[in-house]
Chain A
Amino acid sequence: MSEESDETLLKRLAAGEERAARFLLARYLPRVLALAQRMLGSRSEAEDVAQEVFLRIWKQAARWQPGGARFSTWVHRVTSNLCIDRLRVRKSAPLEDAALIADPAPGAESRVAEAEQSARVAAALQSLPERQRLALILVHYQELGNRETAEIMDCTVEAVEALLTRARKGLKDLLLKDAAFDAPVKAVSGERQ
């Protein structure tokens, strides 16, 4: 993969270099897809979102102004917004079982337990209010700092911290209730952040 900065690749992309497009795709597609799949709980919807994100990247390349927001922040923001738009549309339609749509079927018997665990976490994530879920995905899975997460979510660092605390509490109640820990078990709050 290219070591060039995002800004350099965007300039080359604006000049019509297909290779620059390939480098940007290799750098960002796995991250965009992972964020969208964890937010939406659906691979096919995540792929649709990824296509839409890259369409915007291709169009934006020629107009990109260095010195403003970081490109990676912008990509995460666009992905997050597209996911939230889909979740809002979906609210009026019946929701599929998150555990069923969250993960592809395992290919071998030895992977069944792993896949079950993965599906369980996916379902628990889907039960969180969308902004709690987004904060947790950005910090835990995308490994972004709290400031960048706040910028993407258009809120303060303190608000990100509060969302994370509530998200993790909800997940602990759901996922660790059988483990030997001393915290009380409660249902996940249905609040919307």
Chain B
Amino acid sequence: MSAAGLDEQRLSELLAAYGADAARWPEEEAGALAGHPDLKSKIAKERALDEMLNAFKVEAPDAALSARILAARPGREMRHGTGVWRALMSALWPEGPVWVPMGTCAAALLFGLYIGASGALTAMSSDPQTETALLSLAMADSVLEENWDE
């Protein structure tokens, strides 16, 4: 039977079971409420109960409960090792496998070494004039300043 073809008896049953909000009705019957002025008082009564029920709110879970639940996850300790190491790893990286932050640190270290080494090579290959100027700048030498007055 199509939703529009429901008789008043069935509509009254649906109202009494699911309330006035058609979103809670069975999908195949949800469109049947429209165009039934005879049910106005029943709809009003069910809507009043829906609104009353909606007044019962439940507070959202707090962070402490979430933390307790996550901490109770079995196998969490095994992934992070034991003792101090586990505590340190958990504090540093609570999100998953430890190789992620360790790999990132190793990559950063290698990149730093590369930059440092290439900078040293550049300095060694510069011409004597630049070398003198850099040396003077590094030592806060006044020789160059005196030259500017000339």
Contact = CB atoms under 8 A, between A and B. Distances in A.
B36 interface: no
A81 interface: no
A141 B93 CA distance: 37
Interface residues of A, number: 52
A181 B16 CA distance: 14
Interface string B45-69: 1101110110111111100011011
Interface in A5-37: 16-19, 21-22, 25, 29-30, 33-34, 37
Interface stretch (B71-79, B101-109, B111-119): B71-79
A183 B45 contact: yes
A87 interface: no
Given A16-B96, A34-B58, A50 B65 contact: yes
Interface residue tally of chain B, by bracket?
35 or more
A78 B18 CA distance: 24
Contacts of A102: 56
Interface string A107-127: 000000010011001100100
Nearest to B16: A165
Interface centre among A17, A54, A59, A171 (most CB of B within 10 A): A54
Contacts of A179: 45, 48
A38 interface: yes
B52 A168 contact: no
A175 B97 contact: no
B81 interface: no
Contact of A121 (B45, B56, B73): B56
A176 B65 contact: no
Nearest to A114: B55
A146 to B, nearest CB: 5
A140 interface: yes
Contacts of A164: 17-18
Contacts of A122: 56
B24 A33 contact: no
Given A19-B96, A51-B69, A168-B46, A118 B16 contact: no
A45 B93 CA distance: 32
B49 A172 contact: yes
Interface of B: 13, 16-19, 23-24, 26-27, 41, 44-46, 48-50, 52-53, 55-61, 65-66, 68-70, 72-76, 79, 94-97
Interface of A: 16-19, 21-22, 25, 29-30, 33-34, 37-38, 43, 47, 50-51, 54-55, 58-59, 102-104, 114, 117-118, 121-122, 125, 136, 139-141, 143, 145-146, 157, 161-162, 164-165, 168-169, 171-172, 175-176, 179, 181-183
